[in-house]
Structure 1
Amino acid sequence: MNYRTLGKTGFQISEVSLGTWQVGGRWGEPFKEATAAEIINAAIDGGVNFIDTADVYSDGLSEAAVAKVVKGRSEEVFIATKCGRQIQPHTAEGYTPERLQKYVEESLRNMGVETLDLIQLHCPPTEVYRRPEIFETFARLKEQGKIRNLGVSVELVEEALLAMDYGNVATIQVIFNMFRLKPSEQLFTKAQDNNVGLIVRVPLASGLLTGKFTHATSFSPEDHRNFNRNGEAFDKGETFSGVDYDLGVEAAEELKKLFPGQAPLAAWALRWVLMFPEVSTVIPGASRPEQVTTNLQAAALPALSPEQMQGVEAVYNQYIKPTVHEQW
């Protein structure tokens, strides 16, 4: 495993880390603490020292499961969590200093810790990024010793750029993958200039970039890949990166041709993300320990060739860019 600096936090974190959305629901499987522990332990065994969770993943059970495993290990493991998605309806007006402080304190209780390594605003509406009092709230929480660092998880590149106007924003979590190239155009350079760590989520486009799906693949009714394709439950960019499913299947087949007879496309898709030095870490999820093992293969793969990098961009330009690029 290789390690990179997470922006202003100064944390040295594994370049391939673990996201726990799948551990905490919305993927068609109920939360199981034993399975969660197996996944988290497999990640740490593989050198992962950064785990991302959220208070809404199975109503705090994911936070608790991550913290329980980490406390039982000897390694130093940084835990990032998120807050804000509990607000219903999810509007900018719902974001208040009092409510956000309450969520931070609930996460502290869920995890049984005195200080959060990293708390992230969980994809708030764009208007929230224009409210200084929200960011001042987290400056006070840091002074109180309840958080070490503040980050934001965004849907739009515009939101990431707005967030960097606040000096206490140490990290930005953003969707970036072979089907979502826009962040690399402007955001990456500015993040590097501002010493802001970049955490890449949805790196496999909800599984499309495993190359295992076909036009006939089906998903359970409880899986967001079934019920959120058009943004019925939350931003549709979180599901298949906003790409039309059938088009994504075709594009993935083309991508596989760039990596014949080698590691699975999923590992190459993660290695592609790591080709961008501005990225601090990529946080693929896993619903089984074996998937963690596959994901960690990416750290050991050789660099993509210039021809492969150009090939990925060509597939994106042909299949994905016309309908996706300007939306996020």
Structure 2
Amino acid sequence: MSVKMTMKTLGNSDIKISPIGLGCMGLSEFYGKPASEKQGCALINHALDQGVNFFDTADMYGDGHNEKLLAKALQGRREEAVIATKFGIVRENGEYARTISGKPEYVRKACHESLRRLETDYIDLYYIHRVDTDTPIEETIGEMSRLVAEGKIKAIGISEASAETLRRAHAVHPISALQSEYSMLTRGPETEILDLTRELGISFVPYSPICRGLLSNWKPSEDKTDFRNMLPRFQGEAYNSNKAIADALARIAEEKGCSLAQLSLAWVCAQADNIIPIPGTTKIKNLDSNIGATQVNLSNDDLAAIETILNTSTVQGNRYTDEGMKGVNV
């Protein structure tokens, strides 16, 4: 498979990125048994070979394992890749409970540790993973701007921030990307964030654009290593109700001759020209399918049919547990 992709410019920067990225989290943790090093490296290199150059990771994914895996995969190919990583969620190894830190001294420490694990001299896009309500965002972004001046990072991002926080952050240093969960079943950013990112020239990077597999073929199980099995929207009647919405959308995908996952990605991309989704997978066949979504064109009639389903349905269950909601939309 080979798809011709037109590169985009990351907001408020001169960095060129593919119109779809690869979320690497699941290669190390959270979605069941992690990929082997061989499998992970093969997937990342296949993505590069297919024109995907935007790789999303974080220091807390697998307690640093994900960054190390990315470094291993990119040996000899670092200059081909745009690496986005994140700091700010502090966990004990193997534990889901977390604290949030945006303290300037922690910003610098976390950056140096990520640089070491990534085996690189610079990070292309460095995000604060969640907003620390005990530290003014101006202090966090101020320290990140000093890292830009020192050449340790090229661009600044922020994840799951409110519109007010984003404006305050952008006033300190130009923000290049805002990352938040966004899909046909998670539409919170449409209230203010999408318009604001366009206004400020910021790229919007949706994670979980396939709603953690709900808009594909994933089903709840007893696997305790897959954290989706504890998320409210995947529980009991909430899951059954949400699956009914997915089934209705799947009928539109069938009429289009694409998969529901491809329809989901095409829909996300159709919402604004500054959107770069980062679906994750551990399988090359799914990666190829996700890349193929860039060739799915949705007509006005298609979009209207999707909107009719979404407007007459209510998604049940929160997208995280209370613990996971720490630092979200603040």
Matched, 1:265 2:271: no
Aligned match of 1:47: 51
Is the Cα contact below 8 Å between 2:176 and 2:203 reproduced in 1? yes
Cα RMSD over matched residues? 2.6
Aligned match of 2:113: 106
The 5-angstrom pairing of residues 96-175 of structure 1 reads: 96-126=103-133, 128=135, 130-154=136-160, 159-160=165-166, 163-175=169-181
**What letter corresponds to residue 25 of structure 2 in structure 1?**
W
TM-score under structure 1 length normalisation: 0.86
Is the Cα contact below 8 Å between 2:11 and 2:175 reproduced in 1? no
- Cα deviations by residue, 1:64-95 (Å, 9 ceiling, x for unpaired): 22123223338621000000112677445x43
1:222 alignment partner, SS class: coil
- Cα deviations by residue, 1:18-53 (Å, 9 ceiling, x for unpaired): 001111211111352111101111211211011001
Structure 2 CA distance for partners of 1:263 and 1:75, relative to 1, 3 Å: farther
Distance 1:175 1:91 in 2: 20
Is the Cα contact below 8 Å between 1:157 and 1:183 reproduced in 2? no
Is the Cα contact below 8 Å between 1:3 and 1:12 reproduced in 2? yes
Structure 2 CA distance for partners of 1:6 and 1:74, relative to 1, 3 Å: closer
Matched, 1:179 2:185: yes
Aligned match of 2:285: 290
Distance 1:293 1:109 in 2: 31
2:246 alignment partner, SS class: helix
Structure 2 CA distance for partners of 1:145 and 1:155, relative to 1, 3 Å: closer
Structure 2: runs of 5+ lacking an equivalent: 320-327
TM-score under structure 2 length normalisation: 0.85
Is the Cα contact below 8 Å between 1:20 and 1:62 reproduced in 2? yes
Is the Cα contact below 8 Å between 1:247 and 1:319 reproduced in 2? no
* Candidates 299, 313, 318, aligned match of 2:307: 313
Is the Cα contact below 8 Å between 1:177 and 1:204 reproduced in 2? yes
Structure 2 CA distance for partners of 1:193 and 1:47, relative to 1, 3 Å: same
2:215 alignment partner, SS class: helix
Number of residue equivalences: 310
Distance 2:210 2:35 in 1: 22
Distance 2:110 2:81 in 1: 22
- Cα deviations by residue, 1:87-113 (Å, 9 ceiling, x for unpaired): 677445x43211121100000000111
Structure 1: runs of 5+ lacking an equivalent: 231-238
Distance 2:225 2:181 in 1: 22
Shift of 1:58: 1.4
1:294 alignment partner, SS class: helix
2:307 alignment partner, SS class: helix
Shift of 1:193: 1.6
Shift of 1:309: 1.0
Structure 2 CA distance for partners of 1:159 and 1:225, relative to 1, 3 Å: farther
- Cα deviations by residue, 1:116-171 (Å, 9 ceiling, x for unpaired): 1111011234555x431111111111122211111011165665455444433221
The 5-angstrom pairing of residues 185-224 of structure 1 reads: 185-210=191-216, 212-213=217-218, 217-224=220-227
The 5-angstrom pairing of residues 71-110 of structure 1 reads: 71-73=75-77, 76-86=80-90, 90-91=98-99, 94-110=101-117
Distance 1:155 1:193 in 2: 16
Shift of 1:2: 2.5
Aligned match of 1:233: none
